[in-house]
A and B are shown apart, each in its own frame.
Chain A
Amino acid sequence: MIISELKPLEELQQALAEFDKLFLVGCAACATTCKSGGEEEIFKLQEWLTEQEKTVTGSVVIDEACHIMRAARDLRHHKNAVQEADAMVVLACGSGVQSISSTIEKRVVGGLNSMFLGNVRRFGHYEEMCSLCGDCILNETAGICPVTTCAKGLLNGPCGGMEDGHCEADAEIECAWRLIYERLQKQNRQGVFARRVPPKNWSRRRQPGRYRLKDGGR
């Protein structure tokens, strides 16, 4: 899921300075799971805004804020409260914020910083394991992604900074290449070490990404 966190309150305060009446939007998917934009956080935000002497005209937690059409539909159900507001405050990832900003004329204030596509290690502990490079090498690397979990995204083995099997960029983290090496050894295969991996085709990751199912999804 997309890992996000609340922006610093001072930053939010500034972003909201020119508005009095606000409509709040959360997301029932990722932002709820990582406790940045679910019912609970929307409620806390409302309390905080009231302390700041703002008026909250209403709120909604959209099923998946990244779904542009559903987001628009959910907002229509709150038409009056939305209309009454000077601005929308959205507690969803950057995608979610843009679903809202693309369906409504009103000013939209994003309340979160979106960080990465994360796995849940345990409650409240998230780790980035895939950075969506568009050209997946996992089948050769024993299911450990060097593009993401090596701090330099190296493709041909560890850098000279590996110390006691740990990463030069973060001593708390094990070197991705050591992990790949050990797991491949356990699996009794050479995997990615059998070849020199050529430079990555970054055109697979050209932004902005666009993708359509060939049969239109039917």
Chain B
Amino acid sequence: MSHLSTQLASGQFVVTAEIAPPKGTNLAPALAEAAKFEGITAVNVTDNQGANMRLSSLALAAQLQQAGTETVLQLTCRDRNRMALQSDLLGAAAFGIENLLLLSGDHSKFGDHPDARPVFDLDSVQLLDMTAGLMAGFDMVGKPLDGVPNFFPGAAVNPAAEPFELMFQKVSKKIDSGARFFQTQSIFDRDALERFMAAMIPLNVPVVAGVLLIRNAKMARFLNDNIPGVKVPKVLLDRFDRAVDPLAEGVAIARETVGWARELCQGVHLMTLGHEDKIPAILA
């Protein structure tokens, strides 16, 4: 059983972080970065994040597992059809990867290969269903597996999405399809998080709140303009505009968000994008 699953089951507040595979074959920086993480339960390994082509998340996650770092393998439906998704999941299990974050994936038009044909043969609900099937010992067409994977499947959610009921029906479907935990899109709005958690509590599935370290106003505006589902509110933009030391302000904001998560959620997922040294301050 993965540490992530046991800690969530025992009600311990978990902290996950995130690491992106390199563009190229040089794994050394990513492995060194992962070794520096402290107090982290597991590290998400992103899958062609933002639709930018990188080394496969499976390859880096496998190396990290071997180096003793527990990972959460991210897998999107954008770049693989149902056969490739199943093979990759079986491959992940062979490398001892248990935690999964199963996603639809950002549209290819956002990334560095906008001419690519997006796949989306499955959606995230169907991907979760298929994973549950593999764990039960069968592939998607019902053929038995020789060696059955043991996964801890997770899903993503944007708690601030509107209309709320429309977003939430998908959350329910994901739980019915075997999602055992959620990692959220970056949280900026306490009210939205409270409303979401109120709806989640009866369902008894742990929620790990996404906390993004924003460096400055420019980055905040870039996120608003370019990253789907990320909306940095005006109050925060104003704080960055006023701040003498915007990075320190970003750390302060992230620490406040972690505070909300400690009250309302079962963990935090820290997206520090190169500022891993700030993690202790954010968790302080």
Which residues of A are at the interface with B, using a C-beta cutoff of 8 A? 151-165, 168-169, 177-178, 181, 193, 196-200, 202
Neighbouring A residues of B176 by C-beta, 8 Å: 196
Contacts of B163 in A (CB 8 A): 165, 178, 181
Does B140 make an interface contact (CB < 8 A)?
Answer: yes
**Is B126 touching A199 in the complex (CB atoms < 8 A)?**
yes
What's the least CB distance linking B178 to chain A, in Å? 11
Expressed in whole angstroms, the Cα–Cα distance for A201 and B103 within the complex equals: 21
Report the nearest B residue to A198, measured CB to CB: B126
With most chain B CB atoms within 10 A of its CB, the pick from A152, A155, A177, A198 is: A152
Measured CB to CB, the closest approach of chain B to A180, in angstroms, equals 9
Q: List 7 A-B contacts (CB under 8 A).
A: A156-B123, A156-B125, A159-B123, A160-B161, A162-B167, A181-B163, A181-B165
Interface size class of B (residues with CB under 8 A): 35 or more
Please give, as numbers and ranges, the residues of chain A lying within 8 Å of B121 by CB-CB distance. Answer: 199-200, 202
| B109 CB within 8 Å of chain A | yes
CB of B26 within 8 A of chain A? no
A160 with B229: CB separation less than 8 A: yes
In whole angstroms, what is the CA distance A165 to B167 when docked? 10
B228 at the interface (CB under 8 A from A): yes
**Is A160 a contact of B158 with CB atoms below 8 Å?**
yes
CB contacts (< 8 Å) of B229 on chain A: these are 160-163, 168
B173 touches A161 (CB 8 A): no
B249 within 8 Å of A by Cβ?
A: no
Q: Is there an interface contact between A156 and B126, defined as CB atoms closer than 8 Å? A: yes
User: From residue A167, how far is it (CB to closest CB) to chain B in Å?
Assistant: 9
Q: Distance (Å) between the CB of B239 and the closest chain A CB?
A: 22
B104, B169, B177, B231: which contacts A159 (Cβ < 8 A)?
A: B104
Tell me, yes or no, whether B106 is within 8 Å of chain A by CB: yes
- Residues of B near A197 (CB, < 8 A) are 125-126
Q: How far is the CA of A199 from the CA of B163 in the complex (A)?
A: 25
Collect the chain B residues with CB atoms within 8 Å of residue A157's CB: 125, 166-167, 169-170, 173
For the A-B complex, the count of residue pairs with Cβ-Cβ distances under 8 Å equals 89
Contacts of B165 in A (CB 8 A): 181
Do the beta carbons of B228 and A161 come within 8 Å of each other? yes
- The answer to whether the Cβ of B82 comes within 8 Å of any Cβ in the partner chain is yes
Known: A162-B161, A181-B163. A154 touches B228 (CB 8 A): no
The answer to whether A151 and B125 have CB atoms under 8 Å apart is: no
Verify A155–B126 contact, CB threshold 8 A.
Answer: yes
Taking CB atoms, residues of chain B closer than 8 Å to A199 are: 82, 121-122, 126, 130, 140
Residue contact B107 to A151, C-beta cutoff 8 Å = yes
The answer to whether B140 touches A156, judged by C-beta atoms less than 8 angstroms apart, is no
Q: B129 at interface (Cβ–Cβ under 8 A)?
A: yes
Determine which of A161, A163, A196, A198 lies in contact with B107 in the assembled complex, contact meaning CB atoms within 8 Å. A161
Chain B residue contacts of A161, Cβ below 8 A: 106-107, 228-229
- Bound complex: CA of A202 vs CA of B126, how far in Å? 14
Whether A156 pairs with B228 at a CB distance below 8 angstroms is no
Contact with A along B105-133 (1 / 0, CB 8 A): 01101000000001011111110011000
Q: Provided the pairs A152-B123, A196-B173 are in contact, do residues A177 and B104 lie with their beta carbons within 8 angstroms?
A: no
